[in-house]
Amino acid sequence: MYKPIGFWSAVSMGIGAMVGAGIFALLGEASTISGSAVYLSFIIGGMIALFSRYSLGKLGARYPSAGGIVEYLTQAYGVGLFTGTQPRMQPHHQLPSKPRTAPEK
């Protein structure tokens, strides 16, 4: 049973992906630091997110594919970008898991 994603479902998923749980964890600390001007940080952050989503929407309209950001980077830099940066970035992605998986002496 295939049910397409509607407008409000897509908006909810987008907000959930951008907001995440960090807003609940850091809201008290942010209000302690900035006081009553904490709403300004939400306005500024919302504007930054709006511009980011606008540019991704324009890219999606220009290069329609299921590849997402990978497709946009491939269009801009070519296929070699991913094969060239993978060996360089792989240790950085594995680094946080090394201490947890290393055997104890």
pLDDT per position as a tens digit, 88-100: 666 656 656 555 5
| Residues of the domain holding 72 | 66-99
* Mean pLDDT (whole number) for 75-79: 79
Please check whether residue 76 lies inside any domain of the structure: yes
User: Within this chain, do residues 84 and 51 fall inside the same structural domain, yes or no?
Assistant: no
> Mean of the per-residue pLDDT values for the chain?
77
What gap in Å lies between CA 68 and CA 65, rounded to an integer?
7
pTM of the prediction? 0.49
Backbone phi, then psi, for 26, in 5-degree steps? -110, 0
Please check whether residue 9 lies inside any domain of the structure: no
User: Within this chain, do residues 49 and 71 fall inside the same structural domain, yes or no?
Assistant: no
**pLDDT tier at 82 (50, 70, 90 boundaries)?**
low
Examine the pLDDT at 59 and tell me if it is beyond 60: yes
Burial class for 101, CB neighbours closer than 10 Å (0-12, 13-18, 19+): exposed
Q: What is the pLDDT of residue 6?
A: 85
